[in-house]
Structure formats: structure tokens, C-alpha cells
Structure 1
Amino acid sequence: MASAQAVSTAQINGTVKDQGGLVLPGVTITITQTDTGLVRTAVTDDAGSFVLQNLPVGPYRLEAMLQGFRTFRQTGIVLQVGANPTLPVTLQVGQLQETVTVTGTAALVETRSPGIGQVITNQQVLELPLNGRQLTELIFQAGLAAGGASTAAAPGANTLNTGTRNYPTVTVQVAGGASNGLTYILDGGTHNEPFNNLNQPLPFPDAMQEFKVETSALPAQYGHHAAAAVNAVTKSGTNSMHGDVFEFLRDSKLNAPNAFAAIGPNGKKRSDGLHRDQFGGTLGGPIVQGKLFYFGGYQGTRINVTPTDNFRFVPTAAMLAGNFSAVTSPACNSGRTIALGAPFVNNQISPSQFSPVALTLAKKLPAASDDCGKTLFDRLNERSEHIAIGRADYQANNAHSIFGRYQFAHLGSKPDADPNQNPV
């Protein structure tokens, strides 16, 4: 099985030849990550081949040098997570001080992996619309995916009955597999929950660099699950400071009236009182130029909503007077007529037979809005979501580097309550 570090990074390989097509051994290959200044070197073997491994994702510049040949330089190389592209290099006869530069801006084509998949780039992560900014939904971009349940703090989200999952996430089925049939990897570490093998929450979009979804012919390093593999990489600091601040607000006062909203006692449509506020930011940069970098971010979500379509049935004034004719009529029973059983006649019960305790409790109930005893009521739903992430990267030298990341995610909700904040 491949190491975790190899899975979360990329590598590049190639063969160096001269203009006549002969391979060139002993060529010094230097690759530099332009954002952080990370440098890795290699020397071609007798077959003119080279491999540079464990490269963090991002933009690179590659140089090839050999005495008697012009220096070859290619810029704009973009390495994506888990990629292993092949880069052919051709050296021209000349002075070492002369340079042949090739410029590109796109990711190199992957030709060595048997897997079928798609990389969701940083631009897609930030710009594609997402309900609740839930990154897991971008897995659908790779195809063969179907939605599952959700614990995210979004209106209309279903409750996922999978134990104590008190953090925001969405489950996905891919290629006909189950929700727990996917391998999730974040920064090279397993990101599946041990309790039920489902996915743990991914970072929010502003903290995610990119991720790759492989849906078929999975490589050996993804042997844990058969359906698909999701390989994600978080952002890291660079030699320049960068960050952002964001807020997304939804409020019932800014929305048009709901055409299907329930009608209140005043004859007007009732508002659900929706207030959804999602806010946060990120910041990253250098602590020591070219050596030590930091990145951190936070996203908070607050949602308050009072559904207006909750209803229950309570005793009507006629029922408390002993008359059950209305509630047994077809209008209250889907077109069926029912009758009270013996010894009661004509759907009448003497109030003297009612329990005094029940009558006392009935006085505490809201009044019925129709002859069937139906009453509408509001029930406040308050939820909060927190996602925080911090990361530090240290480049000891051209051969050794280390990073650490911490992520916290929590989804909380208050007990159901009535408009006066009294527990139901």
C-alpha cells in the first residue's frame, strides 16, 4: 500500500533526450514550487529517466541542466492531488547559460494511473453554487453519484440516523455503492469515521485547495472501499499573505411571501421567521520566508426557523360540551362517517363523565381553529454549526518537510421550543 504522504501529494516523471532522440544520463532536474519556494532535485539515470516524488499540489517551474546543452526551463506546471504526469524534456546543444523556456498554465495530463476520475479544482470549489456551502456535494461533479442524508445546518436537511454524528456532513453513494463504500482521504490521512465507516466533514470551501474523485478502476492505495475514493487537500500558507472574509445572509424579511404559507388568525400568511447567517474567513502566509508557513480559517452558521405548518388536534368547545357530532362527520374523517360506540348514543357524551384532571389539562391547550379540532402552532428550530481549521508547514531542506493540521467541526441544536421559548 502506498504511504499516506504519497497519496496526498503528487509526483512527476519524465525522460530527457537530445535533439536526435538519444537519452541523456546525468542531467540535473530541479523543480521549484513558485508559491513557497520549495525546491526538489533529481539526476537522470542511465536511461535518461527521472522521478520527483512527494510534491505538494500547486504551480511549479522545472529546469534541466547538463554541460554542453542549453538550460531547459518549463513554467506554469500545475500538479494536482494524486497526479503522476509524464513530462518529456528535450535539450538543445549550446551553452549552459542559454535557456530554452516553455510556458504553460494548465495541469499536465495523467497517463499512468488506471483510475477514472475528476479533480475538482480550487476555482470550482470557490465558484460553484453549493447549498449550505457543503463541499461533499461537489462529488456529484464526477458523475455516478447519488445523494444521501444530511446533518448539515441547511433548511430542509434530513436527519441522518447513524449514531452520534453531531457534525455537519452529507453522505453520498457513488457507482452503485453504499454510503460507507467510499474511501475519504484528507491531507494523506484516512477521513472515514471508525464507528460506521462514513465520511467525516470536509473543510469549508475557502479552506480547501482541491480534491479528486476516482470512480472506477481504483489504484491499489484505495483498496479499503470498492465504490470510489475522495482524495482532498487543504490550503497551506505561501510566501505571500492571503486570506478572505465572507458572510452569506438569508432572512424572511428579505424574502417574498410564500404562496403556500399557512394563514394565521389575523387572516394573513404566517412567516417562518427564517434567519440564516453564515460567516467566517481565512488567513495564511509566511512565518519564515521559504521555511515556515501558517494557514487558518473558521466558518460559523446560525439558523433560526419557525415552521408554520405544525399542527395537532385538540378538544373543541363542542367536544368539551359533550357533542362529538362534528368530529365524527365525513368532513373530519376523509369522507368517512364514524360513530361513538356503546353506551354512547348519537355521538353524545355527558360532560359529567369527563375526568376532572383531563378537563384541567384541556384548559391549557390552545383553541381549535376548526370544527375538527385542528390547531396550528409554531415550533422554533435553532441550529448552529462551527468548522475551524489550522495548518502549519515547515520546509527543513530540499529533502525533508513536515506539516500539521487540526480541524474542529460541530453541529448543535437546541431542544424544540414554542415561540415563548418554553420546551415542548
Structure 2
Amino acid sequence: MTGTMAGTVKDSQAAVMPGVTVTATSDALIGGPRTVVTNETGAYQFTTLPPGVFQLTFGLSGFVTLKREGVVVQVAQNTRVDAELQVGSLEESLTVTGQPPVVDVLSTTTQTNIPKDMFEAIPTSRNPWVMAGLVAGVVTARLDVGGTQAMQQYALEAYGSADSQKTFSVDGLKMNWSGASGGSTNQYYSSEMFDEYNMQTASGTSEIDAGGVYMNMVTRSGGNTFKGDYGVLFMNDKLQGDNVDDALRQRLNLAPGVPAAAAGNPIDKSYDWSATLGGPILRDKVWFFSSFRWFRLDQFQIGAVNPDGSLGIDDNRIRAGMGKVTYQATTNTKLSYLMIPHLKERFHRRNSPFLAIPDKATVNNPLDTNSFVAKYNQVVGKSMLVDISFGRVWGIFANHYQPEVGPGD
């Protein structure tokens, strides 16, 4: 759930410079700026950095202070920023703006990072399956157009891996459901709670226990200022076209005026409401972040016709929350606790191959789940990191008859 930033400091004659003070500053850093000193080879390193935009300051007596702005740190990536200092006084400063090279030459992992500003700008559904589908080499079993597949899970494969090998991870801790083939989750995560997606497709890191698509979703943590956002998405049948005439409607055994599944994605109604709030409990010491989502998607089921001629419905609701507290106990010690309550209701579930059945023959399928992740992070000396995570996912997957089903059915 963190990244690393490192580099080497040299003078104008290309000689390495020990003893240079390097300071990293960012709004994403709880506890304020971090400072390290270059070693005898002129090298420095910052570990366990949260994703975000950083400023680096290089200073040594007798040399001009160098500031490097706009340095982007991403999850599971090694960002290299080298520096060259010029002779002068500390009162003088030189500011360089621009991002360092994005190629991570220290890792063999095939991975793609999708930060928050990117997935919010892409005009598509924002969930782990869609985000993984944006990555080169990943093949998805469905195409999600405008969120039409956002209520159901589907297969993901990369470079010959099996769908059962894909991994859902929150803040670096695996959150897969133990049922079915093992490649599923029992929570439908909301994008507003995440800072970044880290997708690994080959040569994964040591904490990954399977060779399939690995989706690490890094949660937001708040900051030293109170911030929140609010969003509403809406669509219904009036916002869709229909090229099915009366003759074809009759052949499909549909009543007049009934939406036709043959016309494409037959959406009845959909809205997606979300809100977030984060900020300080104690500046530079304790932060919080919270989010809530209410998502509804009602679609007509292709081939399912009720006795009155109407199309069968596949109606779904998701209500998901998230709360997180982060505590920077010391410069080298950080703790966090994350809780995700989640309720998904599928009111008319049809299981393959029995998809073309009327609404009465379906089941009411509530999925009530909860999960939590507790983390302890300790930097020991200059070359050791202790990272301990503990989490749990639990819930009830129920199937009930429809209310109109009687003893004689």
C-alpha cells in the first residue's frame, strides 16, 4: 500500500556527496515532512511513502539548495530521483519542476497503477473488474458499458492465468471469499474509498500467493484539512434508444410498450450516490476518512418473460460504507484501522442455466458482509521494515423464495 523513493546525490564534478539532508514534503504525509541524510555513497531512501505528489529538498552547507517538485509516488513502485548540487550558499535555491522517469528499474513485476485522478476521469464504471480490464494483457469475461455489469462479478485472466487465481487485496491484505473457486470476493468495493489501484499481472511480489491478476486497492486516509465530495449518477429507460418495431416485438412474445431485451442493454433504472469526508482528529498525528455509497441498478433479463408479457427484472441494491483511522505514533511507527460494512441485495436472482425464468421462480438474495483491516508499520534502522496486517471478512449469503411463492408452487 506504499511506495519507495530513492536516489543518489552528486556534485557538478559527478562525485558522490555524503551528508546531504534530503527532506520529503507532501499533503499525503501524516506526521509532517520526513528527513534522511545521504550515506557514504551519496545514496538516500524513503520507505513506506503513501501515494501522492511530493516535493524533495536537498541541502548541504556550501551548496545551493535544490528543490524538486511534482514527484509522484505510486503504490508498489520504486521512484528514483537523483540530484546534482551546485557550489553556492544555502540561502540560494534552485527549483526543478517535473516528474522523474516512470520506469521502475528496480522491480521485475509487470504492474500498472491507476491513481484516483485517472479513474475518476475515465468515462466508465469504477470498480475493480473494470479497472483491471484497462490493464494491458488482462482479458475480461464481460464488457461493462456505463455500469451495466457493476452489480455482478466476472472472470479476469492475464497471460494464461486462471480466473480462480485472481486476488482482491485492500491495503495489501488479501480479501478473497473462500467459497466457489476462490477467485471471488463477497464485497463490491466503491471507488470513492480508494486513492489508487495497483494491478499486477506477472512476476508478482512475494506476498502474493497466486499467479493470476492481483488487484491491490489502497484506501484514502484523510489529511490535515477537512475535505469531502459528493456525487450522483443517474440513467433510466428514457435515456436509451430502441430499434425494435411492433413486428419484432410480437415475435419476441412481448406485450406492447414493454422494453425489449433484444434492443441492447435494457436498463429500467439506475442511480449511484456517494459521499466522502476526511480530515484531522489531531493534526499531523491522527487522521480519519469515511465514505458511503448507495447504488441501484435495475435491468430487464434477456429471455425472461412473465405470464403477463412483461420482461423479467434483475434489480439490485448496494449500500456500502467505509471508515478508517490512521495514527502516526512516532516518526517511524504508524497504525491504522479500517472497517467496511456492506449490504448487497439482489431481489430476483437467476442462476445459470436457468436464466429465462419468470420473476416468481427467482430467489431473493441478500449478501450482508463486513470486513476490517488492522495494520502496524514500524521502520527499524535504515534498512529494515516491519509490516504486520490482520484482517477478517465475514457475512451471510442467503437465498429466499419470492413472497408470492406458495406451498403449491
TM-score category by the smaller chain? Answer: 0.7 to 0.9
Match in the other structure for 1:112 = 106
Match in the other structure for 1:210 = 196
* Backbone CA RMSD of aligned residues: 3.3
CA distance in structure 1 between the aligned counterparts of 2:255 and 2:329, rounded to whole angstroms: 71
With a CA cutoff of 8 Å and minimum separation of 6, indicate the structure with the bigger relative contact order: 1
Shift of 1:377: 4.8
SS in 2 for 1:218: coil
Amino acid at match of 1:405: L
SS in 2 for 1:102: strand
Among residues 236, 249, 253, which one is paired with 1:262 in the alignment?
249
Cα deviation code 1:325-377 (max 9, x no counterpart): xxxxxxxxxxxxxxxxxxxxxxxxxxxxxxxxxxxxxxxxx6xxxxxxxx845
Identity %, equivalent residues: 24
TM-score by length of 1: 0.71
Amino acid at match of 1:231: N
Structure 1 residues 6-405: aligned runs within 5 Å: 8-36=1-29, 38-105=32-99, 108-131=102-125, 133-148=126-141, 155=148, 169-195=153-179, 196-200=181-185, 201=187, 203-222=189-208, 224-257=209-242, 259=244, 262-263=249-250, 268-271=256-259, 274-305=268-299, 307=301, 309-311=303-305, 376-405=309-338
Structure that is richer in strand per residue:
2
Shift of 1:174: 1.6
Match in the other structure for 2:404 = 422
CA distance in structure 1 between the aligned counterparts of 2:323 and 2:100, rounded to whole angstroms: 29
CA distance in structure 1 between the aligned counterparts of 2:165 and 2:232, rounded to whole angstroms: 34
CA distance in structure 1 between the aligned counterparts of 2:39 and 2:286, rounded to whole angstroms: 33
Amino acid at match of 1:29: V
Amino acid at match of 1:191: M
Q: Is the 2:254–2:309 Cα contact (8 Å) retained in structure 1?
A: no
CA distance in structure 2 between the aligned counterparts of 1:287 and 1:233, rounded to whole angstroms: 21
Shift of 1:55: 0.8
User: Structure 1 residues 413, 265: CA separation in 2 closer, same or farther (over 3 Å shift)?
Assistant: closer
Structure 1: gaps (5+ residues): 1-7, 158-166, 313-365, 367-374
User: Structure 1 residues 177, 101: CA separation in 2 closer, same or farther (over 3 Å shift)?
Assistant: same
Q: Is the 1:29–1:44 Cα contact (8 Å) retained in structure 2?
A: yes
CA distance in structure 1 between the aligned counterparts of 2:14 and 2:254, rounded to whole angstroms: 87
SS in 2 for 1:85: strand
User: Structure 1 residues 77, 306: CA separation in 2 closer, same or farther (over 3 Å shift)?
Assistant: closer
CA distance in structure 2 between the aligned counterparts of 1:58 and 1:277, rounded to whole angstroms: 30
Cα deviation code 1:165-196 (max 9, x no counterpart): xx854431121111122343321212323334
Structure 2: gaps (5+ residues): 261-266, 349-358, 362-401
Amino acid at match of 2:334: S
User: Structure 1 residues 172, 17: CA separation in 2 closer, same or farther (over 3 Å shift)?
Assistant: same
Shift of 1:107: 7.0
Indicate the structure (1 or 2) with the bigger Cα radius of gyration.
1
Match in the other structure for 2:387 = none
SS in 1 for 2:330: coil
SS in 2 for 1:110: coil
